[in-house]
Chains A and B, each alone.
Chain A
Amino acid sequence: MGDLDFGVIARVWPYLLSGLQYTVQLTVVAAIGGVIFGTLLAMARLSSIKPLAMVAAGYVNLMRSIPLLLVIFWFYFLVPVLWQTITGAERPPSIGAERSAYITFVLFEAAYFCEIMRAGIQSIPRGQVGAAYAVGLDYWQSMRLVVLPQAFRNMLPVLLTQTIILFQDVSLVSLLNVTDFVGAAGKIAQRDSRLVEMYLFVAIIYFLLCWLLSWLVKRLQQRIAIVR
């Protein structure tokens, strides 16, 4: 225990901070993109057009039954190939793990946000939709103006909890050599042979951040709870 040197953290903190910045950035983009895409998926799953509902359900179930790590590696390999097919370029472009991770997480989280939004939409009484149609709104208008705002509000705490899980899951991109928070700490840990100090530090920071965030979500949940 005597040869631990936590001074290494003080020396490299700007590097760690830039890693944390990437982690937060990826979390925010994936959460926003995931909620938008997930809401569309949820609407597709609840659609009366059978083939559309089946495709959406198939996508969601597939994403939810394979490990995130596998999805990350799938997209890392697939995105350049798909890009090549779409643009007709001669060779697959080098997109890099940093950028392909954005696509991965938006598409992966969409499956989880879809299930949350589906529960939210289904929690809205039928009469609301009937009333919306009765005043002459079409499908998109009734969704946008009546159903989704309420579904979103009801599900806000669950969406935020899922975002905290997402914030933790982002750490897996470090296995593709991306310099997120864990990746940055890992690189320093290897370079300076300070694995114990660096990983302990990362664990403590994650714990404090996630604990604080879940506390805030709990507070928010109490404040916005609708008295019925």
Chain B
Amino acid sequence: MDLGIFLETTADGDMLWWQSIASGLKWTLSTAFFAWIIAFVIGSLIGVARTTSNKWLLRLGNAWVELFRNIPLLVQFFVWYFVIPGLVPAVKAWVITLDPTQHQFVTAIVCLGLFTSARIAEQVRSGIQSLSRGQRMAGYAIGLTEPQTYRYVLLPMAYRIVIPPMTSELMNLIKNTAVAYSIGLAELFFRTREMAEMTFRYFEAFTAATVVYVIIAMTANRVMAWVERRVAVPGYMGSK
């Protein structure tokens, strides 16, 4: 193993290999960040829809989760990248105005965001359903409407309960950004593979990627554990 390789210039000659990997990391993290926002918002809406009494909302929620859970992520990437622009002329007209990097970035965010939203919806639903019936009834009894009951009674508790499974979803999302390599997004995995192919230093390149991914996973774990402690409700498990 020779770490000096990271200080050599890349094949293009415009940066060093460690800088190339760092720029990949930047793309990985920004893709995960925007995808997480989409996943969190849509996942929460779908998760709530699956616990309401409205039959149509329930069906929509179930269909959403089934759709995104039963197709491999790689195939979903190809669907968003090739099939949707091919089928919808308006999308095609829009994507050809983008440069390739933007197109890959937007595709990765949308694809990973919706893919993860189905998983978050499952967590939010199970969080809400784990609350006792009395909580909802108490909300109605003091005169709150259904949306208000969700906003002030059910969701604040449910989110806290599902922080641990949400943590693993966040880490899955970060790991899943590697699949964006398939459509050519220059994220962390793309950069390490490029380095391995160009320099034949597979061992060094893959070790670098492994170390970076492990550090990200450990950091995400710590951050979420901190969030969990910060928002813990006194008197419940996990509070001090």
Contacts and interface: CB of A to CB of B under 8 A. Distances in A.
A91 to B, nearest CB: 15
A206 B70 contact: yes
A203 interface: yes
Contact of A199 (B83, B175, B213): B83
B79 A203 contact: yes
A125 B189 CA distance: 44
Contact of B75 (A62, A65, A69, A199): A199
A65 B171 contact: yes
A73 interface: yes
Contact of A182 (B75, B192, B193): B75
B74 interface: yes
Q: Which of B71, B75, B206, B217 has the most CB of A within 10 A?
A: B75
Interface in B59-109: 66-67, 69-76, 78-79, 82-83, 86-87, 89
Q: Is the interface of B mostly helix, strand, loop or mixed?
A: helix
Contacts of B217: 65-66
Contact of B189 (A62, A67, A196): A67
B71 A168 contact: yes
Contact of A195 (B82, B176, B181, B189): B82
Interface stretch (A95-103, A140-148, A171-179, A219-227): A171-179
B202 interface: yes
Nearest to B67: A207
B213 A70 contact: yes
Contacts of A195: 78, 82-83, 86
Given A73-B193, A214-B70, A67 B176 contact: yes
Contacts of B86: 195-196
Interface string A189-223: 10000011001101100110011001000000000
Contact of A67 (B66, B76, B178): B178
Contacts of B57: none
A133 interface: no
A1 B72 contact: no
A189 B192 CA distance: 27
A117 to B, nearest CB: 18
A169 interface: yes
A211 B206 contact: no
Nearest to A23: B72
B82 A206 contact: no
Given A70-B206, A171-B75, A203-B79, A196 B87 contact: yes
A168 B182 CA distance: 15
A74 interface: yes
Contacts of A13: none
A142 B61 CA distance: 45
Nearest to B212: A66
A178 B209 CA distance: 23
B210 interface: yes
B189 A70 contact: yes
Contact of B202 (A77, A168, A207): A77
Contacts of A172: 72, 74, 179
Interface in A136-182: 168-169, 171-172, 174-175, 182
Give the 9 A-B residue pairs with the shortest CB-CB distance, closest first. A196-B86, A65-B217, A67-B178, A210-B70, A168-B72, A171-B72, A67-B175, A195-B82, A199-B78
Interface of B: 66-67, 69-76, 78-79, 82-83, 86-87, 89, 171, 175-179, 181-182, 189, 192-193, 196, 202-203, 206, 209-210, 213-214, 217-218
Given A169-B72, A196-B83, 8 more contacts: A67-B179, A69-B178, A69-B189, A70-B206, A171-B72, A171-B75, A195-B82, A195-B86
